[in-house]
């Protein structure tokens, strides 16, 4: 009923609103003001603004109260604004630049002079900091910053880190301690999110960026915008605008280069880690100019990037070969195996001396059309193709490692290649109907295609061959997660607002639609997977038909027609909103808005599982895998204000409060279609007696094949019927102050409270059937890890590994306190410094698979509870400073020095036990209890088939007690449980530096310049090898191993494993220095030719 009512209101709005209008995510700027004379406001005065580089003309007239508004203007400048009225001197003001989303105020006072009608010209300065449009926390990244700051990855992440509340985890940016899945990224108003959520941003699986950074004009990061038009996020809205053509032809050609010689070979504290050879080259271009002067413009941007890395630095063992990179597997055995497999018609590829290739191609094209002084049209297209070779997954591998090592070498065929591709088309139409009404329309379509391909080509079973100690000797065949692994995502968007200007009110009526369609394929071991204890066992099976594999696994379709069961999901979001931006006085502006978003989720691939529908899970809960959440309407009221204290433009108080609605990654919803027990069947047999090796991937597909109704083993993922999209209540208060020397200072507080956050429960765990541990640690221990588990499963009572329900919680918050100083110099150059303190707590920090998001959340109590702890994305303290400074000399030379420095806390870790202490079926997720003294823990030696531990319990306690004492966090937690993400790495300061040298001259009134750039990342490490080195936890996961219940005391017993069992060295320090690339200085050279 709610859906039908909402759609009726939507249709009515569109009929009344007439035309589609302004974009949800700003791509423009605007000006407003009052025209008056000595006697008061002037009605009907002409206001004409001209963007000088392009000749784009905007015309309006003042209303009856003398006020005017010119919306949807090109960002940049300079602008000349001419105000005229019969009998008055005309007045021309010049604004050097309008920033993205800026609403500049330009008040004009005309002088009446019938005898002298000469023009008055004034140059006006418009501040990005002090303007009535600012309310909540935001950061503008200018063209100057984008062009000049050092960038290693040529990624927008390298620039949005200028936001004080920024942090980066898993390669994607997050803000104010919030998960990065809550971000919304747009380019020219078009949605640029990885909506499905398998990757943080588009192209991150291939380590690529979808757009040439030289194409960007500006980037805005909005964390708390109280403009009701901005939605779709609970983290931050990142809005970028690309450059447009002007009346002058302008362009660039550039190249950049990096290899192993430009990265420090790590050699510190006895650790050596030389850099493996790699080569990265990039080539880019931009070109813009007029098609028809003052009327039609184009802008093109392209970039190619190629990188090669060695597949492995290890080599197979040959007679007489020695060294740390020599694997124990013999070359003659691998060569003979390759020959044998080629005889079967399968080429496994090389096992050494092969390359991993990465490539990306990107192109953007933009056409701007000035139809007349009231109507403009902009069409944009973005093309992106990227690919990356990846080594085989370690999941399910012998000893959890299938990649090259001292123990073994996989063939290249066991790896895979990943493709991230995108085509994005976006149309924007802007019109000013009258001096009181304006429109803007954005229509967009984004087509993303991500898929894998096997390095071995044709289908072939995966084969793992083990060494005598159970480690991997080699592997070949189809990588276990690659078959049919594809993701197709289509995103449709329409956004419109109607702006009505009435006196001091700017009223907005708006509509936004986002439609998502996804098709996802995922089926581990779809072509079958064998593991053999030795190479001889494999030959015996393959040549003689002996069924001697250690394990055989296969997954298959149980669809009636045998087709592969892709998960198809669709989601629609319809938004309606109204807002009034009320300029109460020249000093105070109040913005109030209300937004309603209707969310609708469905799937065309969901089937009923009647066997599951008849089951009762914990607390009698029922599951229906064919039903998605009910349609819901989410309300977002917001209130923002801006107060120009004393009306002097020196002190500004701003802020607001309100609800923000985001969208969950669609993979969380798609999990229901993929994990319903009626699309796939599987078998996994240890020591099978009737599964000899065969290269035929379908040989055992139909043996003992189950059907949808006869499946007896699977896992489940469902969404709660009352599930709602994510929402936070966010409040902001800030003071901006002009300080001596042209410095702007800001103090800002930002608080977010979760209203609808997301977390996951396993309803197949009977949390009601438990008993407490005996001793100081009295957490619950479950009688069984599954309600419906192994034994003798039947279709009516299947073996369900887990049944995960995605639901909501209102627990979670974040608090950020920020202080910044900034100063701008002539030419747009600047210096900034800032500090942010953040406290962020969450229940769920995100992921891609429902089972892992429940399984990987560390707990000390009920694993189904929505217990809060520190967010993975929380950086408690962060200090940043940046500088861009340029000096020109000798008429033809210029030098630019730019830097970015940050000092911040390290990564967060959780101290957990190895093993399954609480019997919830999961290993490694139980947070440790930190003993006060020896009486609170029973310690035993760590004895395995590979290690010998001769320590006594007293000796073990002495070592453990010493370890706890040196760890400030653990020492404070004595007598209680460690917290999820409670341990924090050391603060690390890094300085990135760029020096750019220009040689320029003018030919035919055009400036030509050649620029050489030299970037050094982690510059401090170049000066001192101990600087800029982060530390990682030595063994937070599995600090202690659970060894079972002590029969004498009925208390749990634990071991405290050696740090180095071979040399009987105990754990003495929490952290060790990192040896990865971020701990080293790195350099990059570039060259750019520019004409303008």
Which domains are present in the chain?
Answer: 2-124 (2.60.40.1120), 908-1091 (no CATH)
The span from the CA of 452 to the CA of 925, in Å, is 31
Q: What is the largest CA-CA distance in the chain?
A: 111
- In the prediction, which pLDDT does 353 show? 93
How many other C-beta atoms can be found within 10 angstroms of the C-beta atom of residue 215? 27
Contacts (Cβ under 8 Å, ≥6 apart) of 1004: none
Closest among 375, 365, 360, 368 to 425, alpha carbons compared: 365
Q: 124 exposed, middle or buried (CB, 10 Å; 0-12, 13-18, 19+)?
A: middle
Under 8 Å between Cβ of 376 and 294: no
The span from the CA of 981 to the CA of 1003, in Å, is 60
The span from the CA of 281 to the CA of 277, in Å, is 14
Per the listing, tokens 């009910």 go with 630
Under 8 Å between Cβ of 547 and 686: no
- In the prediction, which pLDDT does 300 show? 98
For residues 888-901, one letter each, b for 16 or more C-beta atoms within 10 angstroms of the residue's C-beta and e for the rest, the string is eeeeeebebebbbb
Residue 12 DSSP code = H
SS3 per residue for 624-644: CCCCCCCCEEEEEEEEEEEEE
- In the prediction, which pLDDT does 643 show? 96
The span from the CA of 61 to the CA of 108, in Å, is 13
The span from the CA of 17 to the CA of 123, in Å, is 38
Under 8 Å between Cβ of 669 and 734: no
The parts of the chain modelled with pLDDT lower than 50 are 1-2, 5, 7-24, 114, 116-118
Contacts (Cβ under 8 Å, ≥6 apart) of 417: 387, 388, 389, 390, 452, 453, 454, 455
The pTM of the full predicted model, rounded to 2 decimals, is 0.92
For residues 1037-1049, one letter each, b for 16 or more C-beta atoms within 10 angstroms of the residue's C-beta and e for the rest, the string is ebbbbbbeeeeee
- In the prediction, which pLDDT does 12 show? 46
Task: Record the tokens describing residue 561, joined without a space.
Answer: 């027609």
Strand, helix or coil for residue 264: coil
The span from the CA of 194 to the CA of 181, in Å, is 9
Phi, psi dihedral angles at 625 (to 5 degrees): -75, -10
- In the prediction, which pLDDT does 218 show? 95
| Residues composing the chain | 1092
- In the prediction, which pLDDT does 1061 show? 86
The span from the CA of 451 to the CA of 470, in Å, is 32
How many other C-beta atoms can be found within 10 angstroms of the C-beta atom of residue 519? 19
For residues 580-602, one letter each, b for 16 or more C-beta atoms within 10 angstroms of the residue's C-beta and e for the rest, the string is bbbbeeeebbbbbbbbbbbbbbe
The span from the CA of 849 to the CA of 208, in Å, is 23
The span from the CA of 1078 to the CA of 1030, in Å, is 8
If you compute the radius of gyration of the chain from its CA atoms, what whole number of angstroms results? 32
The span from the CA of 571 to the CA of 514, in Å, is 8
Under 8 Å between Cβ of 723 and 669: no
Closest among 219, 207, 223 to 164, alpha carbons compared: 223
Per the listing, tokens 């289908």 go with 459
Task: Record the tokens describing residue 443, joined without a space.
Answer: 């229509």
- In the prediction, which pLDDT does 271 show? 62
The span from the CA of 718 to the CA of 760, in Å, is 10
Strand, helix or coil for residue 157: helix
- Torsion of the alpha carbons at 692, 695, 696 and 701, rounded to the nearest 10: 50
CA 302 to mean position of chain CA atoms: 24
- In the prediction, which pLDDT does 1088 show? 97
């Amino acid at each position: 009923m709610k859906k039908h009512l909402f759609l009726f209101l939507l249709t009515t709005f569109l009929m009344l609103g007439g035309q589609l209008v302004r974009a949800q995510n700003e791509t423009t700027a605007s000006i407003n003001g009052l025209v008056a004379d000595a006697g008061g406001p002037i009605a009907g005065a002409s206001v004409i603004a001209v963007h000088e580089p392009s000749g784009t003309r905007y015309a309006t007239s003042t209303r009856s109260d003398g006020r005017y508004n010119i919306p949807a203007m090109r960002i940049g400048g300079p602008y000349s604004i001419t105000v005229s009225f019969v009998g008055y001197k005309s007045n021309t003001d010049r604004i050097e630049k309008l920033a993205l989303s800026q609403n500049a105020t330009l008040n004009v006072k005309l002088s009446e002079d019938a005898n002298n009608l000469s023009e008055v010209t004034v140059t006006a300065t418009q501040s990005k900091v002090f303007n009535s449009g600012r309310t909540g926390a935001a950061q503008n990244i200018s063209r100057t910053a984008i062009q000049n700051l050092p960038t290693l990855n040529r990624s927008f992440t390298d620039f949005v880190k200028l936001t004080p509340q920024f942090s980066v985890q898993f390669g994607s940016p997050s803000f104010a301690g919030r998960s990065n899945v809550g971000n919304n990224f747009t380019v020219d108003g078009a949605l640029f999110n990885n909506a499905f959520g398998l990757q943080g941003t588009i192209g991150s699986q291939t380590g690529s960026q979808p757009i040439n950074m030289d194409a960007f004009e500006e980037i805005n990061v909005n964390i708390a915008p109280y403009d009701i038009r901005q939605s779709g996020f609970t983290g931050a809205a990142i809005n970028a605008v690309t450059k447009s053509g002007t009346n002058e032809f302008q362009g660039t050609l550039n190249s950049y280069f990096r290899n192993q010689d430009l990265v420090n070979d790590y050699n510190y504290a006895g650790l050596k880690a030389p850099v493996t050879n790699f080569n990265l080259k990039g080539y880019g271009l931009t070109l813009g100019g007029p098609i028809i002067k003052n009327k039609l413009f184009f802008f093109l941007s392209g970039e190619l990037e190629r990188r090669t890395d060695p597949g492995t630095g290890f080599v197979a063992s040959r007679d007489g070969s020695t060294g740390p990179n020599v694997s124990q597997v013999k070359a003659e055995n691998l060569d003979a195996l390759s020959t044998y497999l080629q005889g079967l018609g399968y080429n496994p590829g090389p096992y050494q001396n092969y390359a991993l290739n990465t490539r990306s191609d990107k192109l953007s094209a933009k056409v701007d059309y000035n139809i007349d002084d009231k109507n403009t049209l902009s069409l944009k297209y973005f093309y992106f193709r990227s690919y990356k070779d990846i080594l085989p997954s370690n999941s399910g591998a012998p000893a959890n490692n299938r990649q090259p090592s001292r123990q073994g070498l996989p063939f290249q065929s066991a790896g895979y290649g990943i493709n991230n591709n995108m085509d994005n088309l976006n149309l924007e139409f802007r019109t000013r109907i009258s001096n009181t009404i304006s429109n803007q329309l954005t229509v967009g379509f984004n087509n993303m295609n991500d898929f894998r391909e096997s390095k071995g080509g044709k289908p072939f079973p995966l084969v793992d061959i083990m060494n005598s100690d159970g480690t991997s000797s080699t592997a070949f065949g189809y990588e276990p997660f690659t078959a049919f692994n594809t993701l197709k995502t289509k995103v449709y968007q329409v956004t419109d607002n109607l702006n009505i200007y009435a006196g001091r009110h700017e009223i907005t009526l708006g509509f936004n639609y986002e439609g998502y369609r996804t098709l996802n394929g995922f089926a581990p071991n779809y072509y079958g997977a064998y593991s053999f204890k030795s190479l001889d066992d494999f030959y015996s099976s393959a040549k003689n038909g002996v069924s001697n594999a250690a394990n055989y696994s296969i997954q298959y379709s149980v669809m009636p027609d045998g087709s592969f069961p892709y998960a198809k999901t669709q989601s629609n979001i319809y938004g309606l909103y109204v807002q009034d931006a009320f300029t109460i006085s020249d000093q105070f502006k109040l913005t109030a808005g209300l937004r309603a978003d209707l969310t609708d989720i469905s799937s065309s691939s969901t089937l009923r599982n009647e066997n599951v529908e008849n089951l009762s899970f914990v607390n009698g809960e029922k599951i229906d895998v064919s039903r998605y959440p009910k349609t819901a309407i989410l309300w977002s009221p917001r209130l923002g204000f801006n107060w120009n204290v004393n009306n002097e433009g020196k002190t500004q108080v701003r802020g607001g409060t309100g609800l923000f609605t985001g969208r969950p990654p669609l993979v969380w919803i798609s999990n229901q279609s993929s994990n319903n027990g009626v699309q796939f069947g599987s078998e996994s047999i240890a020591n099978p007696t009737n599964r000899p090796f065969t290269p035929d991937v379908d040989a055992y597909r139909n043996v003992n094949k189950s059907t949808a109704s006869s499946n007896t083993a699977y896992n489940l993922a469902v969404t709660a019927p009352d599930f709602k999209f994510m929402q936070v209540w966010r409040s902001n208060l800030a003071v901006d102050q002009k300080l001596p020397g042209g410095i702007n200072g800001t103090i800002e507080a930002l608080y977010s409270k979760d209203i609808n956050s997301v977390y996951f429960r396993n309803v197949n765990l009977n949390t009601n059937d438990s008993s407490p541990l005996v001793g100081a640690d009295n957490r619950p221990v479950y009688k069984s890890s599954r309600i419906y588990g192994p034994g003798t499963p039947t279709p009516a009572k299947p073996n369900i590994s887990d049944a995960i329900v995605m639901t909501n919680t209102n627990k979670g918050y974040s608090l950020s306190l920020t202080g910044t100083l900034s100063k701008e110099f002539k030419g747009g150059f600047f210096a900034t410094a800032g500090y942010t303190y953040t406290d962020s707590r969450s229940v769920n920090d995100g992921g891609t698979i429902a089972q892992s998001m429940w399984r990987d959340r560390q707990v000390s109590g009920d694993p189904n509870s929505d217990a809060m702890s520190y967010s993975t994305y929380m950086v408690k303290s962060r200090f940043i400073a940046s500088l861009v400074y340029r000096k020109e000399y000798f008429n033809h030379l210029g030098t630019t020095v730019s830097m970015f420095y940050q000092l911040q806390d390290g990564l967060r870790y959780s101290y957990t036990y190895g093993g399954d202490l609480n019997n919830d079926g999961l290993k490694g997720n139980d947070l440790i209890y930190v003993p006060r003294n020896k009486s609170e823990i029973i310690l035993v030696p760590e004895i395995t088939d590979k290690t010998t531990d001769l320590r006594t319990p007293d000796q073990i306690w002495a070592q453990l007690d010493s370890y706890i004492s040196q760890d400030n966090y653990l020492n404070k937690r004595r007598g209680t449980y460690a917290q999820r993400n409670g341990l924090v790495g050391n603060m690390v300061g890094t300085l990135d530096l760029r020096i750019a040298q220009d040689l320029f001259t003018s030919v035919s009134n055009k400036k030509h310049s050649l620029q050489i750039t030299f970037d050094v990342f982690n510059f401090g490490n170049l000066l001192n090898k101990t600087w800029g080195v982060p530390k990682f936890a030595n063994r937070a996961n599995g600090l202690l191993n659970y060894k079972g219940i002590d029969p004498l005391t009925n208390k749990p017993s634990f071991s405290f494993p050696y740090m180095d069992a071979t040399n009987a060295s105990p754990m003495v320090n929490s952290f060790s220095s990192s040896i990865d690339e971020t701990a080293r200085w790195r350099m990059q050279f570039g060259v750019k030719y520019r004409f303008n």
